[in-house]
Amino acid sequence: MAKAHINETNLLLEAAEGNERSFTELFYWYYKPLGRFVFKMTDSQEITEEIVQDAFVKIWLRRETLKHIDSFGAYMFAICRNETFAAMKKIAAEKVFRTDFEKYLSVEGEIDLLDNPTEEYRAMIIAAVARLPAQQQKVYTMSRYDRLKYEEIAAHLGITVVTVKKHIQLAVQFIHKDVASKRLNAGLILVLTTPLILR
């Protein structure tokens, strides 16, 4: 336990200085546990993913504060809990429940991308996906958004699982390169393109 704590402390200090690898390691440590935690309250995969992704993006954007955090896990769980309560309260107030959280957010009007960097980054990724070759786009969308398994995608499109994996690999490479060219941090690309698998 002591070693783990020391390791996390080092990762926080390094991430605070802009070390993307350390931030990525923290992301992988906590992404699924946070997802399961939020999902228990939202019962929605889409809303859960949005909340957890947004939490990590916000943390990276103010990463210099990480050096002052004693327990990253407790800190992130608190952020996600508060964000979840706020999201569910807003949904209840509007009497709207949509599985697509972005559609829900648009109920109160267009989102100002300049004031919402998370949405700006996500918009870049969506634009990159739209520029993929047709088959790559179809396979990536079925995996990333429809959450189909490779075997299911292969059966649906009449292609092999190996081909599905290749399409996704090429799609992810293109998206990373396309978005990185717009100076989006590699750590944020990872956060916004990693699907949340709870099972």
Q: Return the number of other C-beta atoms located less than 10 Å from residue 164's C-beta.
A: 24
CATH T-level assignment (fold) for domain 2-108: Rna Polymerase Sigma Factor; Chain: A (1.10.1740)
**Would you list the domain boundaries of the chain?**
2-108, 117-193
Angle formed at CA 104 by CA 136 and CA 57, multiple of 5 degrees: 65
Mean pLDDT score across all residues of the chain: 78
- Number of neighbours of residue 67 by Cβ within 10 angstroms: 13
Rounded Cα gap, residues 39 and 80, in angstroms: 11
Map residue 53 onto helix, strand or coil. helix
- Determine contact, residues 189/179, Cβ cutoff 8 Å: yes
CATH architecture of 117-193: Orthogonal Bundle (1.10)
d(CA 64, CA 18): 8
Q: Residue 179 class from Cβ within 10 Å (0-12 exposed, 13-18 middle, 19+ buried)? A: buried
**pLDDT range class, residue 102, cuts 50, 70, 90:** very low
* pTM score of the predicted model: 0.53
Q: CA-to-CA distance for 171 and 63, rounded, in angstroms? A: 29
pLDDT value at residue 107: 37
